[in-house]
Homo-oligomer: A and B are copies of this chain.
């Protein structure tokens, strides 16, 4: 198999996976392309390799920068921006988790907390059940929050590493 074929297969796969997880195909593919490139790439390189429009390439590169998955890099003598991916897979995973936590989990928890804080005017079995369900959900979101903290610390966490190893 040629390098280009392997790259292409991986890029496609990453695009499909991304879209299953709420990350759009172009963003995932750009990320995969940068992961596979030993060198930095320009917007033009990316447009060319993935056949994307300038607007699409630019927006998704911007988004990858926001997610801290991609860095800007300037080449001596070149005026335009080049990009390179964070290559450490664990760092990538924790960054993604952090971003999703910040953007979705934390706001969701706040909203559930707000509903939870409301007193229900009725006082019957249904209200009890509703309150319990909402409380459970709030607690659950708190747990997930903790769990993501745990993962963020996992690389420095020797006990956790051992637990993972034991499960192998």
Residue ranges of A at the interface with B (Cβ–Cβ < 8 Å): 1-3, 6-7, 9-10, 13, 17, 20-22, 35-38, 87, 89-90, 93, 104, 108, 111-112, 115, 118-122, 124-127, 129-130, 133-134, 136-137, 139-140, 143-144, 146-147, 149-151, 153, 159-160, 163-164, 167-168
Known interface pairs A7-B130, A89-B136, A89-B140. Does A122 touch B35 (Cβ–Cβ under 8 Å)?
no
Check if B38 sits within 8 Å of A134, measured CB to CB: no
Give 13 pairs: A residue, B residue, CB < 8 Å, sorted on A.
Answer: A1-B118, A1-B121, A2-B120, A6-B130, A10-B133, A21-B21, A36-B133, A93-B140, A146-B164, A146-B168, A147-B164, A159-B159, A160-B163
Q: How many Å from the CB of A164 to the closest CB on chain B? A: 5
CB contact under 8 A between A20 and B22, given known A2-B120, A6-B134, A121-B1:
yes
Task: For residue A130, give the distance in angstroms from its CB to the closest CB of chain B.
Answer: 6
